[in-house]
Structure 1
């Protein structure tokens, strides 16, 4: 049923660019399989583990190789991420590697035929990937099939290059949102993918059209390589500031936009984070949610230096977006204006605190909706979620709800609709 094609794991050692492949141990073990192997079960077990983590099905061997190519960050893959074809001698080395990889993807080991059938026609458990979103998983499965069907080394190269152009490579290519994890040395930061991202889009945010337009214009300028400002979304709680930022990333992910969430106690790692991002072809938003500082907190000084004022220049592929309930971010006290014993120039104290907000070139205000706007939000959400109730009854219940749930806001309206759905 299968043509047995020879493969030696030494071929992997001949790769020039694609070194240190993800799942390399499993790939080597599979290449070494034959009817006399004593680790067939162990190898297949490892492959099934990968399939479970990534939600794979179909040709499991080709899927794992496609995943390895999608994750491998090397000179060629990083040069072609988001932008596509590149020029120079690097293409010669890429063709060398793709010839080897094309041979590998067609390898069939000489082992039990029933086991082979399940490997090359694997049926998953129907669950989504734990490590990448479903859309990316499906695209990798399609990449696997395309690579298997490639008729030449050059076609193989064109297929993987198009994938890099469409999605990118490695963790930044396969994910849209990230968080910061402190390194064990407490001096460096690890950028960790967030695999479960809320799928909210700008159309899901009712109202606030002017605010969304400003945010969209600034973001599109950034993505298109035009000058763009760091952005502060400030205003009342529950008005959609955080949702707007999440929506922006979902809207422009396919154009190379990525978001990295950071908390203020991690601001000392900002320089290290920028160093990791500066040479990539993506556009990054460093996102700070609910940003504010108490009088005793000094982390804002790290942020000031990154925004403007430090010797190091912020990379052109990075912007900072923050949300806050405070326009000036740092709480001012009456003492700032009255105490003169500790500060000779009290005006300097106030100016230093206000200067952080001033370094956000785009400031967008989100205010609480008035009665009419709140009712419009409620009715729009009710229609979206197919709430079968008379409008007057919905509004009467919504007005009672907001009185005991933090007042009129998009958040309280959403919570009210969730309550109605549960009834």
Structure 2
């Protein structure tokens, strides 16, 4: 991108730049709603550098160290554009203004919006600070030509906007800032962004995983979710359509159900859920994967998600419980809609290779007629509780292993999507051999076979 933005003359750009360092420092000190940015490591380093330049007499070593501290943190963030960095911080901020908008509320008073407008103006001034201006100021304060070479060797950040690969909804709001003469004019678009996409990590990421460190659970954003799309999935349209229909009801705010996708391994259960996220995330859909070991954290997870305008699917993959596990009681409470658990912006999608999610043993059935004093008196109740967990999902969708014809249809569909020019008879013959040698017939086996034959064809050609 060029430095001179469309619609902005050189003289107008000059007027947006900071005339002196005290103005830059004052811009930071003037932040109100976005004041949390002062705790950001890059912004705080910049502020420390600016403060070091306010006295009449400055120390060269101190200034050089503070300058490089700031530059190091800026580069570590993944950009050397101060404008891009500050724009990102505005877009992904968490404060009173953004929290209300992402919860579907509006700020109570115009005073809050006026404070936001003022903050945007101050941040635009700061974003236009150039390294050459800062270095010139340092030389002027030092007033010693012998030091000029040290200052001139300091690395420079750029004032241009880097063309980074970002999701479309983020790129659009960034471009609005980059094109704008006055960032305050972006207020309405910024409000719509927060309302539709959320703020903080919920605007930055579409997929999360619940993790724990030192006993504390937290949502970790996934930088690169599985990119699989609905178009990549061949066959199983009837099974998949039921899940898609339910998801659309969920997104439109009408009654919808928790979903259990169960059946044979490799049939595309997990891929279906991931592809649905990739297809509908632009409509405000988000996904949180929760490992089975952390199901007891459901109340904590729900508290973090429930007061947001986005729709969240809690995804539990490969769900099955042992006979002694109590985590299933946490899941059961959420499925039944406990006082805290029931919330209209959260659904649970789970996958499993088995219909009965809690393992049952023949000894338990024997216990119904057992004279053993160590057996449970009401063994039938326990058995029914275990069998009924799957029934608490409103929708059960079965994914069965394909027969030979269906398996070959999936192979041919994947090969066609990849534009593989292979004789059909040969493709089918080798696909059947592959299924015999490896994991049997399944959608996963078909994809693995096509990966193999596509790689082999590429090397041979």
Q: Give the TM interval when normalised to the shorter protein.
A: 0.7 to 0.9
Contact 1:82 1:256 in 2 (8 A): no
Contact 2:232 2:417 in 1 (8 A): no
State how far apart, in whole Å, the 1-side matches of 2:198 and 2:337 are: 32
Matched, 1:107 2:129: yes
**TM-superposed deviation, 1:116:** 9.8
Q: Which residue of 2 aligns with 1:408?
A: 441
> Are residues 347 and 48 of structure 1, via their aligned partners in 2, closer, same or farther at CA, if it must alter by over 3 Å?
same
Matched, 1:63 2:98: no
Q: Which residue of 2 aligns with 1:232?
A: 260
Q: Which residue of 1 aligns with 2:297?
A: 269
Matched, 1:293 2:321: yes
> Are residues 268 and 237 of structure 1, via their aligned partners in 2, closer, same or farther at CA, if it must alter by over 3 Å?
same
- Which residue of the other structure, out of 204, 210, 216, is the alignment partner of 2:232? 204
Contact 1:398 1:416 in 2 (8 A): yes
Deviates more, 1:318-327 or 1:157-166: 157-166
Q: TM-score, normalised by structure 1?
A: 0.87
User: 1:354-377: CA deviations, max 9, x gaps?
Assistant: 221111001111011111111111
**TM-superposed deviation, 1:346:** 2.2
State how far apart, in whole Å, the 1-side matches of 2:279 and 2:335 are: 25
Matched, 1:11 2:27: yes
Residue correspondence of structure 1 range 126-165 to structure 2 within 5 A: 134-136=165-167, 143-144=173-174, 146-152=176-182, 154-165=184-195
Matched, 1:386 2:423: no
- Which residue of the other structure, out of 38, 56, 76, is the alignment partner of 1:49? 76
Deviates more, 1:150-159 or 1:357-366: 150-159
Deviates more, 1:269-278 or 1:156-165: 156-165
State how far apart, in whole Å, the 2-side matches of 1:49 and 1:91 are: 32
User: 1:304-323: CA deviations, max 9, x gaps?
Assistant: 11111634232211111100
**TM-superposed deviation, 1:213:** 0.9
User: 1:300-355: CA deviations, max 9, x gaps?
Assistant: 11111111163423221111110001112112211121114422222201111022
> Are residues 139 and 288 of structure 1, via their aligned partners in 2, closer, same or farther at CA, if it must alter by over 3 Å?
closer
- Which residue of the other structure, out of 357, 363, 388, is the alignment partner of 2:390? 357
In our comparison, the structure showing a higher alpha carbon Rg is 2
Contact 1:63 1:140 in 2 (8 A): no
The SS at the match of 1:119 is: coil
Return the structure number with greater helix share. Answer: 2
> Are residues 65 and 30 of structure 1, via their aligned partners in 2, closer, same or farther at CA, if it must alter by over 3 Å?
farther
Contact 2:292 2:319 in 1 (8 A): yes
Contact 2:407 2:441 in 1 (8 A): yes
| CA RMSD after TM alignment | 2.8
Q: Which residue of 1 aligns with 2:206?
A: 176
State how far apart, in whole Å, the 2-side matches of 1:29 and 1:145 are: 30
State how far apart, in whole Å, the 1-side matches of 2:174 and 2:96 are: 22
- Which residue of the other structure, out of 376, 390, 395, is the alignment partner of 2:428? 395
User: 1:146-172: CA deviations, max 9, x gaps?
Assistant: 325434464132343243345332111
Contact 1:33 1:111 in 2 (8 A): no
- Which residue of the other structure, out of 326, 332, 341, is the alignment partner of 1:313? 341
Residue correspondence of structure 1 range 312-331 to structure 2 within 5 A: 312-331=340-359
The SS at the match of 2:74 is: helix
State how far apart, in whole Å, the 1-side matches of 2:387 and 2:356 are: 6
The SS at the match of 2:134 is: coil
State how far apart, in whole Å, the 2-side matches of 1:139 and 1:29 are: 34
Residue correspondence of structure 1 range 106-125 to structure 2 within 5 A: 106-108=128-130, 110-112=133-135, 118-121=156-159
Aligned length: 407
The SS at the match of 1:178 is: strand
Q: Which runs of 5+ in 1 are unaligned?
A: 129-133
Contact 1:278 1:315 in 2 (8 A): yes
Q: TM-score, normalised by structure 2?
A: 0.81
Matched, 1:257 2:285: yes
Contact 1:5 1:106 in 2 (8 A): no
> Are residues 300 and 383 of structure 1, via their aligned partners in 2, closer, same or farther at CA, if it must alter by over 3 Å?
same
